[in-house]
Amino acid sequence: MTVDQAALFAILVAALTFFIWGRWRYDVVAIGALMAAVVAGIVPAEQAFSGFGHPAVITVAAVLIITRTLHHSAIPDMLANSMRRFGDHTTLQIAALTCAVALFSSVMNNVGALALMMPVALQLANKAGRSSSVVLMPLSFGSLLGGLMTMIGTPPNIIIATYRETISGTPFGMFDFSPVGAGVAVVGISFVALIGWRLLPQRKGTIHADTVFEHIEDYITEARLDSDSEYVGAPLQELESLGQGDVAIVGLIRGERKFLAPSSFIRLQKGDILILEADPEALRTLVDQAKLELIGSEGLSAETIRSDDVRLTEAVVPPGSAMESQTSRSLRLHARFGINMLGVARHGVPVKERLGRIRYQAGDVLLLQGDKVALSEAMSELGCLPLARRDLRLGKRRQTVFPVSVFAVAIALTTFGILPAPVAFTGAVLVFVACDLLSLRELYESIEWPIIVLLGAMIPVGEALRHTGADGLIGGGIVGLAEYLDPVMILVLVLVVTMLITDVINNAATALLMAPIAVSVATGLGVNTDPFLMAVAVGSSSTFLTPIGHQSNALVMGPGGYKFGDYWRMGLPLDVLIIAVSVPLILRFWPL
């Protein structure tokens, strides 16, 4: 083992450790690994950021932008509405939902497809009186299975396609993944719909579509502003500042008029009655300091603080949202957007901590109050996903036929080899912008920058595996098993190792790390590299054992009320089934 190889292995082990630990986000860890490789002289300084111009990075960014545009077309709405025709039959509902999300995921970003269908799944579960835990994990797994079917369905497929071009001069095509991916998706969805959902816990406390807190009225009370209060004549925002984000002023009654989610700039008058939402300790502090007279909470309910214009809406914090690690106090939700934070639920259980002090995590379910426009704008800017059935549409209604046609043309150009995928999909994005289907602000907001940074940083590190011969060192160790195992069993081993790694680190990072190793193994065995690359593609997207390996799994954890250990209940048999199905399909269409 050379000094460079030893240093690279140390960097990769450290990166994997930090990926698993999760203390720092994966893009930060990736940049750290890249900088360490540059300092160690493994990656030349002038090539440190070459990964950001890699075709895989450009393709992933373009697909994310296209996903944003298609997300606002009417076609997803039409298909989602058709889900209502399956009645209350659990198996039919889950089959329809997972098929729909898999279809979307084959041409859209996995998380985008999941976000599209989550409100529908929650509404159907609520209507049938069914726990959301029964439908959300199948939906997440369906989005992952659907991504296997095309080159653009998931970042690992894009990475594997472009890596094949690096080693052979020819990339995998748009539908080269389909024979294996579609077969795995069909079998996987069948298992999830017929058997898998029965293995999941049905918790009564999990989130439904219409209410995240059944007893919100327990935290609502009315208080009158006394004439001797120093806040008479002051703008409402001064009283809000006194509450420090722990108290939400959800309404103001002045005579016969009632203002819900009142403006921060409205000036308080003597005798104003404030409708407050807070825990007892925070409420007592505000009442004492502002000299308010408590009236009580008799007759108050959730209906008191909403109207035709002002709504109570649930939203989920997705991975990578601007809300992650922030608090309502630091975000200044009411001052900036005119909305109030009324509650936070984590893993299906309301968080009892003071609202202003809760640091939001991916998967948290939020209860928000505000008018429709303010809520839509706030969730769009903060990156939250509404759990209502698209009543709050993030952005204006778009055209339908034209953007889908442009996307179809880009796919055709790629499929027939007329243009490379990065050029075809970037061209589609340019058409969207030129035709005002997508604003420049929406363009940049739709890109998941942590994923882009991860890819740009890890591609040079992955290439260092090949340049230093470290991939051959690992591959040689695996090839040594050929004395005891035939090439088919070694292919299975590569697939299983990839599946285990992707359950604890990002799937794109898994593909970047395993692709050169898989090629080295195939070369050492003297067999075709394609089946081993396909095994890495399938394994990298088989993130079914934990909620941390993929954003889709993390996204449903809160609304579904899942615990960390719930994922393997359905995920482990699904992994075994995928191995049993994918290996024969790989060998049939990509023989050794």
Are the C-beta atoms of 498 and 549 separated by less than 8 Å? no
Are the C-beta atoms of 26 and 454 separated by less than 8 Å? yes
- Do 87 and 200 have their domain in common? yes
- Do 293 and 202 have their domain in common? no
Q: Is residue 125 part of a domain?
A: yes
- Do 125 and 229 have their domain in common? no
- Residue 530 CA to residue 422 CA, distance in Å, equals 22
Tell me which residue range forms the domain holding 354.
210-386
- Do 78 and 154 have their domain in common? yes
Q: How many structural domains comprise the chain?
A: 2
Q: Is residue 483 part of a domain?
A: no
- Do 296 and 356 have their domain in common? yes
Q: Which residue do the tokens 């994923």 mark?
A: 451
- Residue 87 CA to residue 136 CA, distance in Å, equals 17
- Do 284 and 214 have their domain in common? yes
Q: Is residue 563 part of a domain?
A: no
Q: Is residue 495 part of a domain?
A: no
Q: Is residue 160 part of a domain?
A: yes
- Do 120 and 218 have their domain in common? no
We report the CATH number of the domain holding residue 380 as: 3.30.70.1450
Of 543, 506, 514, which is closest to residue 188 (Cα–Cα)?
543
Of 206, 97, 201, which is closest to residue 145 (Cα–Cα)?
97
- Do 223 and 330 have their domain in common? yes
N-term to C-term CA, the chain: 30
- Residue 366 CA to residue 557 CA, distance in Å, equals 13
Are the C-beta atoms of 269 and 225 separated by less than 8 Å? yes
Taking only the tens of pLDDT, the chain with its 592 residues reads 789 899 998 998 998 888 877 778 888 999 999 999 999 999 999 999 999 988 889 998 998 888 878 776 666 566 656 766 666 688 888 999 999 999 989 988 888 888 878 877 877 777 777 778 888 999 999 999 999 999 999 999 999 999 999 889 899 999 999 999 999 999 999 999 999 999 988 765 444 434 445 556 667 888 898 888 888 889 988 888 887 778 888 889 898 888 888 888 899 998 899 888 887 788 888 888 888 888 877 777 777 788 878 888 888 888 777 788 888 888 888 888 888 888 888 876 778 777 778 889 888 888 888 888 888 888 878 878 877 654 444 444 456 678 888 999 999 999 888 999 899 999 999 999 998 888 888 888 788 888 889 889 988 988 888 888 888 888 888 888 877 889 999 999 999 999 999 988 888 889 998 999 999 999 999 999 999 999 999 999 999 998 877 888 888 887 888 888 889 999 999 999 999 999 999 999 999 8
- Do 352 and 236 have their domain in common? yes
Q: Is residue 83 part of a domain?
A: yes
